[in-house]
Amino acid sequence: MSAYRPLTASTLIDYLSSLAPMQTRLGGNSADWTAREVSDGNLNTVFIVSGPAGSVCCKQSLPYVRVDPAWAMPLERTLFEARWMQALSPAVGHQIPELYHLDEGLFLIVMENLSTHHVLRNALIAGVAPAGFAARIGEFVGHASYATSWRALAFEDVYALRDLFSRNLALTRITVDLVLTDPYRTDCPRNRWISPELDDLVESLQTDSVLHAAVERMQERFLSSSQALLHGDLHTGSVMISGDDVRVIDGEFALYGPIGFDLGMFLANLAMNAYAQPEHDDWMRDEIALLWSSFRRAYLERWEAGAQRGDMASLTRPASCAAERTRFFQQILHDCAGFAGLELIRRTIGFAQIADYEAGSNRENEIEARRRALLTGRTLIQKAFQIDTIEALLDQI
């Protein structure tokens, strides 16, 4: 374990050259290696290091938010990402990058370089993402959420995992603030929107006591339901694609929570892409339907196989629990709808917005897309517990 210091391209190469597995993976002499910074997210520095034999991706925490150095941030976030990868790898395999090395002192992870892949958000904006990609995301959530659930694991094992990820306080605080709270405050300087065109709608969202009560119900679900280990920030910018190979990355927000949170976040990003690019409407509708059906099928396959049986499922068998399956998936769909609504609103007027909106042909279309997202978000939050089918959810969207 090394003493912490922010790494540069040259010091990173020096560090990697001291690791025998990296010498083998990169090949040649370290003088032949190159390091290129590709930092794109809000929080960390990311480098691609290449050698004669191969390449790796290196991600290091900074003691502040990368895009806002005045915003101090604990360093532990890369450790949680590494633990998330370790916890899920047996269940999801190649659907996440392979973890090669973790240095807990440097808060550095070295992992598979997805050099042939593209960020899904960029591919969607360009209209070149392969149809059916959402099926892979549904499968990922299904396999990951079952494998880390009370149905699959003894409660002692769930407690151990939950205890580990419950320490991810700084990034969970970001979610509680930026997703679940800030957009509904009239005095939050982190909020921003197109003014004056959206002023009336934003004011109505921020002064609507009925909406705020519904938001509180979703806050309760997020903070009190520990169904499974979540990605915690699953959107189209945290997915890499190359043909049929779809990988989920950036698990640093990982925590135990309601399964519908991950599904709702991803679903909302598909909806916003369609709002910004109306020619994608039918495509995104199909992808949302695939996301849900693939999640349900993947989760059910593991549940019915019963290869792992936790304490919660110790009495029931598939033939006798049809009603329980219906109740369970309806609960997840309720959560999915509500969290999708929160994501639609926070990505439209909150701190961390999305590039999809800028893909519109002009300001008028962008305003219409944002207005549509805000109105739909309000509806989904308020009607979340009345939405019992994916068709009903699609109708609302």
> What does the alpha-carbon distance between residue 312 and residue 118 come to, in Å, rounded to a whole number?
40
> What does the alpha-carbon distance between residue 147 and residue 87 come to, in Å, rounded to a whole number?
9
Q: Which residue has the tokens 């929107």?
A: 193
Classify the phi-psi angles of 351: left when phi > 0, otherwise alpha if psi is within -120 to 50, otherwise beta. Answer: alpha
Domain membership of residue 93 (yes or no) is yes
What is the pLDDT, as a whole number, of residue 271?
Answer: 98
Q: Determine contact, residues 120/241, Cβ cutoff 8 Å.
A: yes
**CATH code for the domain of 244:** 3.90.1200.10
Q: What is the band of 41 on the pLDDT scale with cuts at 50, 70, 90? A: low
Regarding whether 177 and 316 lie in a shared domain, the answer is: yes
Percent share of the chain, pLDDT over 70: 97
Mean pLDDT of 239-249: 96
pLDDT in tens, 103-119: 999 999 999 999 999 99
Q: Can you read off the two tokens belonging to residue 131?
A: 């149809």
Residue 22 clears pLDDT 80, i.e. is over it? yes
- Segment 168-173 long-range contacts (CB within 8 Å, at least 24 positions apart): 168/76, 168/77, 168/80, 168/253, 168/254, 168/255, 169/74, 170/73, 170/74, 170/76, 170/77, 171/77, 171/80, 171/232, 171/252, 171/253, 171/255, 172/232, 172/253, 172/255
Mean pLDDT of 10-18: 96
What is the pLDDT, as a whole number, of residue 320?
Answer: 60
What is the pLDDT, as a whole number, of residue 230?
Answer: 98
Domain membership of residue 149 (yes or no) is yes
Continuous H helices in the chain? 9-16, 20-26, 77-92, 120-126, 133-147, 155-165, 169-174, 199-206, 209-224, 259-276, 281-305, 322-349, 363-383, 390-396
Regarding whether 379 and 331 lie in a shared domain, the answer is: yes
Regarding whether 307 and 174 lie in a shared domain, the answer is: yes
Q: By residue range, what is the domain housing residue 298?
A: 118-396
Q: What is the band of 370 on the pLDDT scale with cuts at 50, 70, 90? A: very high
| 359 or 386, higher pLDDT | 386
Which domain-ending residue is among 86, 112, 138? 112
Regarding whether 123 and 94 lie in a shared domain, the answer is: no
Q: Can you read off the two tokens belonging to residue 212?
A: 């705020």
Regarding whether 82 and 137 lie in a shared domain, the answer is: no
- Segment 32-38 long-range contacts (CB within 8 Å, at least 24 positions apart): 35/9, 35/10, 36/9, 37/9
Regarding whether 98 and 239 lie in a shared domain, the answer is: no
Q: Which residue has the tokens 């008028």?
A: 364
- Does residue 258 have a cis peptide bond before it, meaning omega lies within 30 degrees of 0? no
**CATH code for the domain of 103:** 3.30.200.20
Regarding whether 185 and 77 lie in a shared domain, the answer is: no
Q: Determine contact, residues 366/358, Cβ cutoff 8 Å.
A: yes
SS (H, E, C) 122-178: HHHHHCCCCCCHHHHHHHHHHHHHHHCCCCCCCHHHHHHHHHHHCCCHHHHHHHHHH
Which domain-ending residue is among 44, 79, 112? 112
Domain membership of residue 4 (yes or no) is no
Regarding whether 129 and 108 lie in a shared domain, the answer is: no
> What does the alpha-carbon distance between residue 59 and residue 264 come to, in Å, rounded to a whole number?
27
Which domain-ending residue is among 82, 112, 142? 112
Regarding whether 274 and 368 lie in a shared domain, the answer is: yes
Domain membership of residue 122 (yes or no) is yes
What is the pLDDT, as a whole number, of residue 317?
Answer: 65
Domain membership of residue 2 (yes or no) is no
> What does the alpha-carbon distance between residue 327 and residue 316 come to, in Å, rounded to a whole number?
14
Residue 360 clears pLDDT 90, i.e. is over it? no
Under DSSP, the state recorded for 311 is G
3-class DSSP state for residue 201? helix
pLDDT in tens, 296-353: 999 999 988 876 678 887 776 665 678 888 999 999 999 999 999 999 999 999 999 9
3-class DSSP state for residue 212? helix
Regarding whether 234 and 149 lie in a shared domain, the answer is: yes
Q: Who's near 228: CB < 8 A, 6+ residues apart?
A: 144, 145, 146, 148, 149, 256, 257, 259
What is the pLDDT, as a whole number, of residue 361?
Answer: 73
Mean pLDDT (the chain, rounded): 94
> What does the alpha-carbon distance between residue 91 and residue 75 come to, in Å, rounded to a whole number?
27
Percent share of the chain, pLDDT over 90: 87
What is the pLDDT, as a whole number, of residue 40?
Answer: 75
3-class DSSP state for residue 60? strand
pLDDT in tens, 129-147: 999 999 999 999 999 999 9
Residue 198 clears pLDDT 80, i.e. is over it? yes
Number of domains in the chain: 2
pLDDT in tens, 278-299: 999 999 999 999 999 999 999 9
What is the pLDDT, as a whole number, of residue 177?
Answer: 98
pLDDT in tens, 172-184: 999 999 999 999 9
Q: What is the band of 1 on the pLDDT scale with cuts at 50, 70, 90? A: low
Regarding whether 157 and 88 lie in a shared domain, the answer is: no
Domain membership of residue 283 (yes or no) is yes
Cross-strand pairs, 229: 256
| pTM passes above 0.85 | yes
Domain membership of residue 3 (yes or no) is no
| 42 or 191, higher pLDDT | 191
Regarding whether 167 and 34 lie in a shared domain, the answer is: no
Q: What is the band of 189 on the pLDDT scale with cuts at 50, 70, 90? A: very high
Domain membership of residue 45 (yes or no) is yes
What is the pLDDT, as a whole number, of residue 49?
Answer: 98
